[in-house]
A and B are shown apart, each in its own frame.
Chain A
């Protein structure tokens, strides 16, 4: 297993890009081998990456022999990422050709490939070439080193993604590190010398909470939240107090009404996600709470009731638009889909089965309501 990182000595002081004095992030040593020795098994290459989604489960490795059999043959590599997207890497310049082969093959084999993209000139290592458990040990050693030192990233992840708990973060970090290992470009030289694996990962992990939140909640909501937090921090640093609504709106260059609307959207979405977990928990304990009434948390009940009422109002406003006329004014399907998703706790495929519609129809119906709630900022 990990022999831990090499201890830095006093000579390892460096000047960061922000002109702060810091210690050099040490190279890792695992099973008696340094990280550079381990990664030398999988030398860095520059490739074109083709990545895409499929409607049904699919293993992208199936395409490697297909590309090899193509005339002229295309040498391809594939590796699974935890985000479920499919990726193959091909020699630089062959990305678009590989995409066409992929499309043809998918069409011929009845695989529904969506959103097929090519990114040219990306760093890649074929990690399959690293023997034994060296790669897994290296990832574990990196996570062991990073996890205790990136408390701010951990806190932010738990705070930004309401369904993520403290105990989930370590395994999430392992997956994140595992995903990013193939793009570590060890040859890169900076003002402080060669980039170590840990320094590379710290750089990637710094933006991880924002990227994860954007993926989960949508870009505008997260950007609003970041902007509001940044403006509040900047004001507090200058004036040694929290800003009023007017001062915050001024700092952000928007009206107070607009600021309120955006804050309400953030609160409503946050409440909606929290509701799901509270609802699931209360249903599991239903029998018990009825029997031990003395242990009922009155304050939590009141908070939950108020939040449910606000959420109900927001959902009703989304499915009933009095300004429209005819069929478009009310959206019973969206209401039923949202009710089954959030109150009955059904997954999207279950909702689709229950309502006898296609999964994409159920998802679109739920999305209509969530988008409307986010846009209107109703509470």
Chain B
């Protein structure tokens, strides 16, 4: 296979969105008492940074805290390997999340399994058939803590 053909196949795969991406998990864990306001601040913050793809990958509770797990996409393997602008933007976004939400112990974490309780709840908030507002979901969680 020639280099040209190889590049063509790669660009076709990219066009279909089938190339492998690197996604990192980051948890933000506010105390239950400030969870709702943190959820709003987090949503507003991510809305103001649309360049880097971020999804809510998990929503749960742990030891009196509400845990938001964010899935931050750094880009394709090629972007990460070559330090493409998108991948570097993702690093900057992670840095500012770590700095701006420092009071809520932002920390890297593994992304929850698709069928876990946390992932299902996050799915309901974002794209589920019975979609609920994030703030409402958090209020329900806080009540259960």
Contact = CB atoms under 8 A, between A and B. Distances in A.
Contacts of A357: 81
Interface stretch (A65-73, A97-105, A325-333): A325-333
Interface string B94-108: 110010001001111
A320 B91 contact: yes
B74 interface: yes
Given A305-B105, A308-B105, A330 B63 contact: no
A223 interface: no
Given A283-B110, A333-B81, 11 more contacts: A308-B105, A330-B88, A332-B74, A332-B87, A332-B90, A335-B74, A336-B24, A342-B108, A343-B109, A355-B81, A356-B81
Contacts of B94: 316, 335
B11 to A, nearest CB: 17
B9 interface: no
B108 A308 contact: yes
Contacts of B79: 332
A339 interface: yes
Contacts of A302: 63
Contacts of B88: 327, 329-330, 332
B128 interface: no
B24 A309 contact: no
Contact of B80 (A279, A313, A315, A332): A332
Nearest to A296: B63
B24 A298 contact: no
A339 B24 contact: yes
Interface residue range, chain B = 35 or more
B34 interface: no
A256 to B, nearest CB: 25
B18 to A, nearest CB: 14
Contact of A333 (B29, B63, B83, B105): B83
Contacts of B51: none
B80 A343 contact: no
A316 B83 contact: no
Dominant secondary structure of chain B at its interface with chain A: mixed
A344 interface: yes
Contact of A330 (B64, B83, B110, B117): B83
Given A302-B63, A305-B29, A335-B74, A355 B80 contact: yes
A314 to B, nearest CB: 10
A332 B106 contact: no
A285 to B, nearest CB: 14
B109 to A, nearest CB: 7
Nearest to B83: A327
B22 A309 contact: no
Contacts of B64: 298
Contacts of B22: 332, 336, 355
A127 to B, nearest CB: 47
A358 to B, nearest CB: 11
A316 B98 contact: yes
A211 B56 CA distance: 46
A7 interface: no
B63 A298 contact: yes
